[in-house]
Structure 1
Amino acid sequence: MTLPFSPQDFKVELREEHELLRQSVRELCESRVRPYVEKGEREMAIPPEVRKAVVDAGLMGLNIKPDYGGQGGDLLSQAIVTEEISRVWPSLSTHVFIHWLFSTTLQLFASERLRSEHLPEVASGRAVVAFANTEPSGGSDVAGMRTTARKVGSHYVINGRKTFVTNGGIADRLLVTARTSQGERRWMGISMFLASREHGFKVEGRIETSGVRASNTAQLLFEDVRVPEGNLVGEEGNGFKQTMLAFDYSRVSVAAQGVGLAQAALEASLSYSSQREAFGQPVASFQMVQERLADAMAEVAAARLLTYFAASLLDRGNLQDGVVAASMAKFYATEVAERAASRAIEVHGGYGVSTPVERLLRDSQILKTYEGTNMIQRLTVVRQVMKSKFGVNVR
């Protein structure tokens, strides 16, 4: 392998268990999820029957170690599951992978008490969780955080607002970042806490988004919310680095969402163009349609391989290359999803804007935005490669 990756680590290890997992999740989604998709999108909620199906399959605890009641699945397994769920319903995959983000962060940084208390609740489906990081004053500028946490006796008192919190309106516990001190550099002095609903955070309102409408996005208010000092996750002042590392892992799931959404758009295009006739022949006979189908097939395959490669690197502990690959996969796969959805609308003609195909294009816009915008991911790729391969710090 050549730049930007190391030559000795260019491989993806798909095992039989991964394909068996894919088959089981696909069957689950077709039988127990797809019948509820349109209803869920209209009502902007994940129906209880669908959440129960996911929980019963053990998917909420896919990434949680068996010691805490989970499956102990690797990141490649998470990518495959996310892809298959997103092929049917991106809103549901968003709901699920936020639970994985919460669990991954706890397993990386939290005390044994917090892990033992909360991870089994997530794995069993008894807990609905969220990650409150983005603020109204800025999304990608995490270092500009205005939410504060002041130490008072044996508690931290949190004040501030968080917005675009996935699962925010329904979460009974969440991870929240807040500034505990001023550091020499802007990112220093940010800490992470685990707050539960009984600690007093409030839902200020539901945010209606154009896509993934059933995932429940909300704005939260923290007004003198008292969190026990034992609910500090990791080290005080290290919350920024912890958040960034957690997002490095979760970006693989967003990339996989893009792959699954693009796959759905491709399948819809192939099916429609093979059956719809115009001028006495299937529309797939027209070369302009063939061009769109071929481009989509090539791009979906490339996005899938890049996403699996990123997951494999991180699974093997190669953070240096894994972070770059995850950022590349995130921006590439989500933009492939956008293009595949747009092509699907074109192939469907008038039906493209009056059928579920149009939802795929709306959903793709959300994927490009969260877990770090695609513009930010491009900056991350170049800066990481320049620093690690050439010893140059670029801004």
Structure 2
Amino acid sequence: MVFPLKSLDQIQIGITEDHELLRQSVREFSEKFLLPNVDKGEKEKDFPEEAKKQAADMGLFGLDIPSEYGGQGADYLSLLVTSEEISRIWTSFSTLLLVHWMLGRAVLKYGSEEVKRKYLPEIASGKKLGGFANTEPEAGSDVAGIKSVAKKVNDHYVLNGRKIFITNGDIADYLIITARTSPPDPKARWKGISMFLVERDWGIKTMSRIETTGLRASHTAEIVLEDVSVPSENLLGEEGMGFKYAVESFDYARTIVSAQAVGIAQSAFEKLVEYSLQRKAFERPIADFQMVQQKVSESLSDLMTSRLLTYWAGTLYQKEMMDEYIVAASLAKFHSTEAAERVVLRAMTAFGGYGVTVSTGLERLLRDLQILKTYEGTNDIQRISAARQLFYRFKGVKVG
């Protein structure tokens, strides 16, 4: 017994040669199509069409959608590899894909065969962009607290409500919407929430684009639903089970966010190493000084432990070892995002005065990390979740 695991063979990472080939391909794409556009895209708060088209041509929008629905049929670790490599260059673009993947995964897992056949090919091709709308002004970490409602009327549902901090919210063609189909049960607040696949043209209104500290090219918006009519067949899964579907979707996304943080840490680490060799002080490269050497070694430690933890969690997900994965994903998320922040701050310190300039790109990485620490479950929530899940899943005791 290797508490909380059953044996040491559960500590495995399933990276293969195919994943390395994918990484090389995504790195080439990122450096050719994203890198030249980062500064302009962040300033104009948008992505170049050429980059989105190239990503679509590579199959990145439908990476883990089965080939029978027009996707690449890649595994979960492929999403982590792709997210890490893109985030090394432009985290905003990886977030565009992250939320699109969340929609595709929800349709694939909970949609009827008719819905899958209708929507997944367009989602996989990138012809239609996806979004995931759960958060509300009074319901962020408290998913059960959503107030949006969906009333059944004959052969459709009528949705009313307000969603906020929705990535791709003003540009998504399709959105996953969670809404209450019945009032909350005081003894089980999560009951009564349902999940829907909604087309923008059915009446979703964008109220505003929200300015954020980081991920400035990412489209974060507030949307409003006013008597939006949704066909009954676009209810995903069972009515009233949407809370569980949403939580499972966040579980799916959480380690992808961790991979984003690994990409940021990789970028900052490379900048730190290169600068320490090029920059001279007292007629010597600053890499000669022990203080800089310490920053390099500590940053390498943070980078590698984050990467190992992230891909270990991803391997557990891929093996469908969900008891272990739920804990590992929470650990990976808060560890990797905070470790990446430490790497960036060390690099900024080593850069001296240049470290606080915009031209190095370090300040953008630092700003982006503040969003990563917040979405798909804040780091504070992940700490609590990891402990509670540990007690429950491995000791059979519910705490808190």
Shorter-chain TM-score bucket reads over 0.9
Is contact 1:70–1:120 with CA below 8 Å preserved after alignment? yes
**Residue in 1 that maps onto 2:306:** 303
The 2-side partners of 1:153 and 1:78 are apart by 40
Aligned-partner Cα distance in 2 for 1:337–1:281: 28
Deviations 1:49-102 (A, max 9, x none): 111121111111101000001111111111001000000000000001111111
Structure 2 residue 298 is the aligned partner of structure 1 residue 291:
no
Identity between Structure 1 and Structure 2 (%):
51
Q: In the alignment, which residue of structure 1 is the partner of 2:356?
A: 353
Counterpart in 2 of 1:321? 324
- Equivalent position to 1:234, from 237, 244, 250: 237
Give unmatched runs, 5+ long, in structure 2: none
Which residue number corresponds to residue 112 of structure 1? Answer: 113
- Equivalent position of 1:392 in the other structure: 397
2:375 pairs with one of 370, 376, 380? 370
Report the TM-score when normalising by structure 2.
0.97
8 Å CA contact retained: 2:104, 2:130: no
Give me the whole-angstrom Cα distance separating, in 2, the residues matched to 1:352 and 1:166. 30
**What CA distance in whole angstroms lies between the structure 1 residues aligned with 2:219 and 2:2?**
42
- Counterpart pick for 1:266 among 261, 264, 269: 269
8 Å Cα contact 1:136/1:162 also seen in 2: yes
Equivalents in 1 of 2:51, 2:395: separation in Å?
49
Q: Determine if contact 1:6/1:321 at 8 Å carries over to the other structure.
A: no
Q: Distance in 1 between matches of 2:30 and 2:5?
A: 35
Alpha-carbon distance between aligned partners in 2 of 1:357 and 1:85, rounded to the nearest angstrom: 16
TM-score (norm 1): 0.98
Moved more, 175-184 or 54-63: 175-184
Please give the secondary structure, in 2, of the residue aligned with 1:363: helix
Cα offset, 1:2, TM superposition: 2.3
Q: Letter of the aligned partner of 2:3 in structure 1? A: L
Which range moves more in the overlay, 349-358 or 238-247?
A: 349-358
Separation (CA, whole Å) in 1 of partners of 2:389 and 2:317:
15
Q: Is the 8 A contact 1:155 1:226 kept in 2?
A: yes
User: Any idea what SS the aligned residue of 1:248 has?
Assistant: helix
Give the corresponding residue for 1:46: 47
Aligned partners of 2:247 and 2:4: how far apart in 1? 21
Q: Does 1:82 align with 2:83?
A: yes
SS of the equivalent of 2:63 reads coil
Q: How many equivalent pairs are there?
A: 395
Give the Cα–Cα distance (whole angstroms) in 2 for the partners of residues 56 and 50 of structure 1: 10
- How far, CA to CA, are the matches of 1:374 and 1:5 in structure 2? 23
SS of the aligned residue for 1:116 comes to helix
Structure 1 segments (4+ residues) deviating >6 Å: none
Matched residues in 2 for 1:289 and 1:333: separation? 22
What is aligned with 2:141? 140
CA separation in 2, counterparts of 1:76 and 1:4?
A: 23
Code of the aligned partner of 2:135: T
Stretches of structure 1 that go unaligned for 5 or more consecutive residues are: none
Matched, 1:251 2:290: no
> Could you tell me whether the CA contact under 8 Å between 1:328 and 1:381 is conserved in 2?
yes
Which secondary structure does the structure 1 equivalent of 2:341 belong to?
helix
